[in-house]
Amino acid sequence: MRTLTVDLGERSYPIYIGAGLLARADLFKAHLAGRQVAIVTNETVAPLYLKQLEASLSGCELTAIVLPDGEAFKTWETLQLIFNGLLQARHDRRTTVIALGGGVIGDMAGFAAACYQRGVDFIQVPTTLLSQVDSSVGGKTGINHPLGKNMVGAFYQPQAVIIDTTVLATLPARELSAGLAEVIKYGLICDEDFLAWLEQHIDALRALDGQALIEAIERSCAAKARVVGADERESGLRAILNLGHTFGHAIETHMGYGVWLHGEAVGAGTAMALEMSTRLGWISSDERDRALRLLIKAGLPVVPPAEMTPEHFLEHMAVDKKVLDGRLRLVLLRRMGDATVTDEFPREVLDATLSADYSALVAQLDQ
């Protein structure tokens, strides 16, 4: 087992990474506030892993809250189902909420924990690659609004993150690729060595090689822990974790939540951020192409949806959480492995990025 720490003073917590950790009763029990535990999961994950987790929590007073599955259910209405489950089973302030599932479950269960009786403890047990490398770490919790992604939520840190890598065996290939978008993100924003490692190991990761997965998860979580430890509430540096997300969130909102997976939208959004960084002269077209090849090898889309016009993008991007005083701020690459958040770009470069021909960009890659 590998153990990392998210260093946030009195809110610091461990991230445990290893094969078979769902069976480690000792890890779970070390982080419970009291005897009451509410497991929040969904109708896909419950039949696969709920019994295993319940076995590790023997002796606890358990409630399982099983939600409908999908990004389209990351809503107020579903949040209310969590509160109904907690109240019906008379959960008190010493309850621990355990999120068992992907990022949708983790974000919602964390937000419910932040709100229930003004805050109860929670533990993240992420079961998708995306949630193991990104969403379970750092305390961003929340739900979507029809007008914008993750627009209602709270910063609320878990007590621990327990990552069992064996659960990835049942993850659909499309979801694995979506997770790789966030893994590649870390290489691009802050770790060029990791980017080179990913180029060497992308096939092994897609083939679910256990050692490669553990290394990718550990390096990703370490990068995220470093950034979050330096800027928990995104007053500056943390925004680099949003590479590709301003464009990507526009795609998710415009297409309807769940039509494009979050990781897929981040893949295409990252291609747009790479293109804009190239047009600004910050990275070369060879460097852009190198990153595009890796995204494609990971099984990700790098061409935004054909039905989205520049005007559609601009409309959705105007409600991005990084907008300040009406000014759009974007995460772009100054160099490979070095991201920055900036509002200093000519409007024409943004317009050119939004109307660029991404299919042509892909077509020239192999020529």
Q: Which residues bind ligand NAD (CB under 6 A)?
A: 42, 44-45, 48, 69, 71, 74, 101-105, 107, 127-128, 130-131, 134-135, 138, 140, 150, 167, 170-171, 175, 178, 262-263
238 is catalytic: yes
* 245 is a contact residue toward ligand LNCXM5UN (CB under 6 A): yes
Separation of alpha carbons 219 and 223, rounded Å: 6
Q: Which is nearer to ligand LNCXM5UN, 57 or 239 (CB)?
A: 239
Q: Out of 140, 185, 254, 288, which one is annotated catalytic?
A: 140
Q: Which of 91, 140, 288, 316 binds ligand LNCXM5UN (CB under 6 A)?
A: 140
Spatial separation of the C-alpha atoms in residues 277 and 336, rounded to whole Å:
10
> What tokens appear for 48 in the block?
């696969």
Size, binding site for ligand LNCXM5UN by CB under 6 A: 12
Report in angstroms how near the CB of residue 353 gets to ligand NAD at its nearest. 23
Q: Among residues 16, 296, 334, which one has the least CA distance to residue 184?
A: 296
340 is in an annotated binding site: no
6-31 burial by CB neighbour count: b if 16+ within 10 A, else e?
Answer: beeeeeebbbbbbbebbebeebbeeb
181-220 residues in contact with ligand LNCXM5UN (CB under 6 A) are 182
Q: How far is CA 233 from CA 139, 227, 237, 335, in A?
A: 9, 10, 10, 25
Q: Find which of ligand LNCXM5UN, ligand NAD, none residue 242 binds, CB within 5 to 8 Å per kind.
A: ligand LNCXM5UN
Partner interacting with residue 91 (select from ligand LNCXM5UN, ligand NAD, none; CB below 5-8 Å by kind): none
Residue 249: active-site member: yes
Cβ closer to ligand NAD: 244 or 304? Answer: 244
Report which secondary-structure segment, H or E, holds 335. Answer: strand 330-335
Q: In what order do the strands lie in the sheet with 96-101?
A: 2-6, 13-18, 160-164, 121-126, 96-101, 36-42, 61-67
Instruction: Report d(CA 239, CA 249) in Å as an integer.
Output: 14
Distance CA 135, CA 128 (A): 10
Region near ligand LNCXM5UN per CB under 6 A, out of 48-56, 93-101, 236-244, 295-303: 236-244
229 is in an annotated binding site: no
- The identity of residue 110, as a single letter, is G
* Beta partners for residue 257, in sequence order: 260
- Token pair in block for residue 31: 């982080």
Whichever of 195 and 339 has its CB closer to ligand LNCXM5UN, that residue is 339
Q: How far apart are CA 166 and CA 42, in angstroms?
A: 18
Catalytic: which of 31, 91, 219, 238? 238
Rounded Cα gap, residues 64 and 85, in angstroms? 8
Contact yes or no for 246/266 (Cβ under 8 A): no
Residue number closest to ligand LNCXM5UN, CB atom: 150
Binding residues for Zn(2+): 182, 245, 262
Binding site for ligand LNCXM5UN (CB under 6 A): 134, 138, 140, 149-150, 182, 234, 238, 241-242, 245, 321
Annotated active-site positions, please? Answer: 118, 140, 182, 224, 234, 238, 242, 245, 249, 262
